[in-house]
Structures are given as structure tokens and as C-alpha cells.
Amino acid sequence: MTAPKNSMRDRYKQTRARVRTSRHGRWAPTPIEPQIVARVAARALSEASVVIESAPNSAVEQLPSVAVVICVWDRIDRTTNLLRALAESKGVRADVYLWNNRVDAAARLTEHLLSCPDTLPRVSLATSQLNIGGFGRFYWARSLANNYRSVVFIDDDQLVDGFSLKTLVDEWTPETIRSVWAYKFGNRFDYWYRTQVEPGDRAMYVGTGGMVADATIFRDDGLFDCPPRYWFMEDLWLSHYAETVCGWRLFRSAAEIGVLLDGKDQYHSLVHAKSEFYRELNKDGRWFGMSR
């Protein structure tokens, strides 16, 4: 078992070296300095605190707890609505970990949370001094990996019902990632030439919203070695890393989770970038070939 693992990691290092030398295309990446990000994340976690303790309820307290990590940026005002929905989850108890990338909105976010404490689940809050993107969730998850076997990611624009969380948790298996966003690609050049797979089917890519993962992947230091140029495409990086480096399997979840169409999704600004990164990760064709 050791030899294949090492060989996968060697190929990963070669892939990352190619990506680092990629020429700039039609988009302008946000500069990311990995050492600074690591320090910012460490500070945010060291200063994190429990903002809301769930209201005493003996029936709820007996339910299995689930780590739910949510990254907050431009939807501060609807955060409590999402948390109320998670508090209504059937069969599981949500322990929510918010990663706030808007330091200037930290006070407003806390005020919103404290305005309705009796209707919310247990909520912990970490605020980053810099916007480090969705990778903030990865840092939260790494700190939780010793206490939870799985971690659930929910986007702040998603709509959950009472059964969404339990469906995700019940689907958990070791060394897998499952998401409501799950695709296979039609070629190794165009990220957008893709097809959504059916619930339970094998995928090549899984999105980080509406996702449940074996928490152990977040203890892997290599996962945090994403090329700085592509830092804000952590979903693509996670899918590639899980399959090609760790040898994990990706699937579509059967959970029913909706999405709020408010025009604030960052994917509009990453249309060209996603295909560029996808091509770089597929230069040898191996990742694409693994899912055929």
C-alpha cells in the first residue's frame, strides 16, 4: 500500500510544479502568500469563540453531533436564516463553525447571531483578518478532524430543510467525499464541458457546498499546498487532490439542498480561471482518465 501512495504524491508534486510555472491568462488572480495565509488562519482559530450555546433540550442533546462549516463573506444578513434551518435538522444535532472572511463585518455578524440565540444551534465563530476565501473552511475542518469523523460544508447561499443534514451524514463512508454538486467532465481541457451525475454515482468533481467529507483529508498538509495563483478555486483543488493524491472516491449526494440566486456567487468571475486550472491539473490526462 505504501508504494502507490508515494507514487501518487510524487505525481502531485510534479503537477504542482507545472501549475506554478503557468503563464497568466485572461483573468487577474488575487495575490496569495501561503505563509501569510497560514499565520492569518492560525490567529483566527486561536481567537475563535463560541458565540451561541444551543438552548437546553434533552432530546436534541442526545442526538449525534455533526460539524457544519460555513464560510461567510457577502451574505451576513441571511446567516441567521440558514442557521435556523440547520437547527431544525431531524435526527442529528448541528455544531456550526462559521468562518468569517469579512473582518469589517464581524461586529454586525455577531449582533445578528445574538439577536435570536434561542432559535439557533451551537455556533462558533472565527474571523479572518484577510479574505482567504473558501480555504478558511479547510482550516476550520483541520482543527475539528480529531473530534469528528466527518465534516459538512454548507454554502451561505444554500437552502436546507430538516432532512438535508442527516442525509449527508448517513451517506458518509471512509475516504470519500459526497456533494450535491457532482460532475463528470467530457474532456480534459474545458471545465465547463461537464455533466451532473446521478445521486450515488461516481464523480470526478464535487463542489464544496452541500458536501460531506471524511475529515481526515484536512489533516493532510499537502492539501494546503494549493498553488497560490489558484487559491480561490479550492473546490477544484480538493477534488483533484482527493482523487489523484489520496486515492479517494467522489460521489454525488442524494441530499436535497436548494440555492439562493442573488447574483453574489463568485463563480461569475472565475469562468476562464476554472478552465485554466482544470487544464493544468489535467496536463498528463491521468485525472480525467481515472474517471472513465
HEC per residue, the chain: CHHHHHHHHHHHHHHHHHHHCCCCCCCCCCCCCHHHHHHHHHHHHHCCEEEECCCCCHHHHCCCEEEEEEEECCCHHHHHHHHHHHHCCCCCEEEEEEEECCHHHHHHHHHHHHCCHHHCCEEEEEECCCCCCCHHHHHHHHHHCCCCCEEEECCCCEECCCCHHHHHHHCCCCCEEEECCEEEECCCCCCCCEEECCCCCEECEECCCCEEEEHHHHHCHHHHCCCHHHCCCHHHHHHHHHHHHCCCEEEECCCCCEECCCCCCHHHHHHHHHHHHHHHHCCCCHHHHHCC
Q: How large is the average pLDDT for residues 165-184?
A: 97
Average pLDDT of the chain, as a whole number: 87
Residue scoring higher pLDDT (8 or 255):
255
Lowest-confidence pick of 130-134, 152-156, 259-263: 259-263
pLDDT band at 10 (very low <50, low <70, confident <90, very high): low
pLDDT band at 34 (very low <50, low <70, confident <90, very high): confident
pLDDT at position 55, please? 66
CB neighbour list of residue 45: distance below 8 Å, 6 or more residues apart: 126, 139, 140, 143
Q: How large is the average pLDDT for residues 106-111?
A: 94
Instruction: For the chain, state the CA radius of gyration.
Output: 19
pLDDT of 196 > 90? The answer is yes
The CATH number covering residue 157 comes to 3.90.550.10
Count of all residues that appear for the chain in the document: 292
Residue scoring higher pLDDT (184 or 270):
184
Q: How large is the average pLDDT for residues 127-143?
A: 96
Residue scoring higher pLDDT (172 or 9):
172
pLDDT of 140 > 90? The answer is yes
pLDDT at position 291, please? 65
- Is the overall model pTM greater than 0.85, yes or no? yes
pLDDT at position 54, please? 75
Q: Which one of 67-81, 195-209, 260-274 scores highest in mean pLDDT?
A: 195-209
pLDDT of 23 > 50? The answer is no
- Counting residues of the chain whose pLDDT is more than 90, the rounded percentage is 72
pLDDT band at 117 (very low <50, low <70, confident <90, very high): confident
pLDDT at position 4, please? 46
pLDDT in tens, 71-97: 998 888 889 999 999 999 999 999 999
pLDDT at position 292, please? 61
- Which domain range does residue 169 map to? 2-290
Number of domains in the chain: 1
pLDDT band at 264 (very low <50, low <70, confident <90, very high): low
